[in-house]
Chains A and B, each alone.
Chain A
Amino acid sequence: MIKKASEINETTPWQEMTLGGEIYEGGTSALFNTGDWRTMIPVYHPENCKHCMLCVPYCPDSSIPVVEGKREDFDFMHCKGCGICAKVCPFKAISLEKVGA
C-alpha cells in the first residue's frame, strides 16, 4: 500500500490506496498549487516593510512566511491573491496588482 500523499494520484489502483481515505502525514495540501487561482497578485515592497507582522495572521492561505522575526516574500504557490494583506498593511509595503499586468 502507498503511504505518502505525494505518491497517490488519479492513476493509483485501489489495492495501493490508503484504507478509508486515511492520510498518515500532516500538511499534504502544500503539494497542491492554488497559486493559479489568482487574478490579482500582492507585490511585496521590502523597502517599506517594518516587519510589524500585521499582514501575517490575516492571510487565509498561510502564504506569508516568517523567518527569524521577519516576513519574507509571498508563497506564490498557495497565495490566491485575495488582497486582505495589502489592505491591512499600514506602511504600503504590499500593493495589489492585476496578474500579468
Chain B
Amino acid sequence: MAYSLKQQVSKPERFAGGHRLCAGCGAGLAVRGVLRALKPEDKAVITNATSCLEVSSYLYPYTAWQDSYIHSAFENAGATAGGVEAAYRVLKKKGKINDTFKFIAFGGDGGTYDIGLQSLSGAMERGHDMVYVCYDNEAYMNTGIQRSSSTPRFTDATTTPVGKVIPGKPQNKKDLTAILAAHNIPYVAQTTFIGNFKDFHEKAEKALYTEGPAFLNVMSPCPRGWRYEAEDLAEICKLAVDTCVWPLFEVESGVWKLNYEPKKKLPVEDYLKKQGRFKHMFKAGNEWMIEEAQQFVDEKWESLLARCK
C-alpha cells in the first residue's frame, strides 16, 4: 500500500506526551516514527537500554509508553528483548497467549555502538524476531555529552574536548550499520527524519514485519549536544543526507540498496557549520580538519555506492 502520511498520523498515538525528553529531542521522533509503523491491532513490548530516552519516558509512576515496556540495564537491550521474545514463543506454543506481539528495543548510540554491542550482536545472531532501533545522537548525552564510538572525528565532546594539543575526538565514527549487515540478518537499514517520513516509515514497517531480527539505525539529532537551535532539526537531518554524512540505505537479505542519492552532493562543511560541536574546525589554520572530514565522507560514500551496485 502506498505511503500516506495523513493515514499514518491518524493512527492512535502510542507514545504519550509528558515525557521528560528535552525540547526538540530527536529520540521522541524516532520512537513515534517506529511505533507508527505498527498495525494498530498488534501489541508490542518495548525494551529500552538505559539512556536519555529511558530515564525520560518511564520515570515512576509516569510511563510515556502505551505498550508494555521493560528496562533492565544499559548494555543488554538485545538480550532483554530476546528474553521477552523467547517467553512469547513458548507461551504461545503452550496456548497461554494468543495475541500478536512485536518486540522493539530502543538504545542510544552509547548503549548500542559501545556497551550494548555484544548483547545486540548475540541477539541478532540467535535470530530473535525483534527490531533493534538505535537512536544515534553521536555521544553519551544522558551523562553529559561524552564521546562514544559513534561520535564523529573532531567533535568537541566532554571527554574529547578541544584542547591546545588535541583538536576534539581523534577517531572516526564506527560504521555500526555495516557491522549489523555483516550479521546476515534479514533486514538492516539506516534512516533519519527527512521530508514526510516516507523513508523512515517504510523502513520501520519492513523491520517490524520482516520475520527474524532487524536493525534500524536512526540519526537522531540532539540540540544540546550538537549545539544547534532545537527548531532546526529537520534542516540538520536534510544536510546530513545531502552531504552524504548519513546516507539512507537498506540491506535486505544481504542485498544493499541506496534509498536516496542527493541531486547535488553538498560539501560536508554545510553540515558541520550548523553545529557548535564542530565550531573549532572553522578557525583559521584548521582547514585541514574540514578537508579530512570531507575525505572520510567521500571514501565511505564511494564504498557504499560500490556495495549498492
Contact = CB atoms under 8 A, between A and B. Distances in A.
B67 A26 contact: yes
B231 A83 contact: yes
Contacts of B223: 82
A87 B231 CA distance: 6
Interface range, A side: 35 or more
B278 interface: no
Contacts of A53: 5-6, 9, 196
A83 B230 CA distance: 7
Contact of B231 (A21, A28, A86): A86
Interface stretch (B15-23, B176-184, B291-299): B15-23
B29 A58 contact: yes
A61 B28 contact: yes
Given A61-B28, A87-B231, A29 B17 contact: yes
Given A82-B230, A84-B234, A63 B24 contact: no
Contacts of A21: 60-61
Interface in A1-45: 5, 8, 18, 21, 23, 25-34, 37-38
Given A57-B197, A58-B234, A66 B9 contact: yes
Tell me the dominant secondary structure on chain B's binding face: mixed
B261 interface: no
Tell me the dominant secondary structure on chain A's binding face: loop
In the A-B complex, the 9 residue pairs with the closest CB atoms: A60-B28, A78-B17, A83-B231, A82-B24, A29-B18, A27-B16, A26-B66, A80-B23, A5-B61
B230 A84 contact: yes
Interface range, B side: 35 or more
Contacts of A57: 5, 8-9, 29, 32-33, 36, 193, 196-197
A29 B231 contact: no
A51 B5 CA distance: 11
B9 A32 contact: no
Nearest to B33: A57
Contact of B17 (A18, A77, A96): A77
Contacts of A96: 231
5 contacts: A60-B27, A66-B10, A82-B233, A84-B233, A87-B233
A51 B17 CA distance: 21
B120 to A, nearest CB: 25
Nearest to A62: B17
B152 interface: no
A88 interface: yes
